[in-house]
Amino acid sequence: MCYFRAGSFEPGRPDSGDFKKSDKGKELDGWPGERWLNLNSDNVRKIMRKRIELAASKKCDAIDPDNVDGFDNKNGLGLTRADSIHFMGFLATKAQNLNLAIGLKNAGAIIPSVMPAIQFSVNEQCIQFSDCPTFSAITNASKPVFHI
């Protein structure tokens, strides 16, 4: 499984210079220098296509795109649930066209809308935040949830 930040900019990555200023929103709380991305930006989507293609070229079986839950944070871009749902659809289509499975990282609020597009979920801290039942829809659909 290949992990990458899909919904946030991280300085120092090989493609960090490809992002435009207009692609970036507010800093992620607790992650200095990391910024939310405009999920509707054609440029952001172009960069994510390349990241997915890189995962396929490295023979990954699946991708784990992180930080697709900007709607649930102070992102500075006005991101909505609908934006994240559409973005996950975009990522899923690209991944599946390259024979890669895709998971939903956290973002429990959009599970019902993205369920047909995902093959698994990766969750962080559901025990800490007492929201593990949110992810039962995924296991009820016979798809795994990896709690890390």
Model confidence over 18-46: pLDDT tens digits?
Answer: 999 999 999 999 999 999 999 999 999 99
- Read off the pLDDT band of 127 (50, 70, 90): confident
Nearest to 68 by CA among 13, 138, 5, 19: 5
- Read off the pLDDT band of 112 (50, 70, 90): very high
Please report, for the chain, the start and end positions of each structural domain, with discontinuous segments joined by +: 2-147
DSSP strand pairing (8-9 vs 31-37): antiparallel
Question: Would the pTM of this model clear 0.85, i.e. be above it?
Answer: yes
Phi, psi of 101 (to 5 degrees): -75, 160
In the predicted structure, residue 126 carries a pLDDT above the cut 90? no
pLDDT higher at 125 or 70: 70
Query: So what's the pLDDT on residue 2?
Result: 98
Our measurement of the distance from residue 45's CA atom to the centroid of its chain's CA atoms, rounded to an integer in Å, reads 12
Nearest to 65 by CA among 117, 103, 30, 39: 103
Query: So what's the pLDDT on residue 128?
Result: 87
Query: So what's the pLDDT on residue 38?
Result: 99
**Average per-residue pLDDT in the chain?**
96
Domain 2-147: top CATH class: alpha beta
Q: How many Å apart are CA 113 and CA 88, to the nearest integer?
A: 10
Average pLDDT over residues 111-118: 97
In the predicted structure, residue 129 carries a pLDDT above the cut 90? no
Partner residues linked to 121 by β-bridges: 104, 145
Q: How many Å apart are CA 102 and CA 90, to the nearest integer?
A: 11
The strands making up 24-28's β-sheet, listed across from edge to edge, are 8-9, 31-37, 24-28
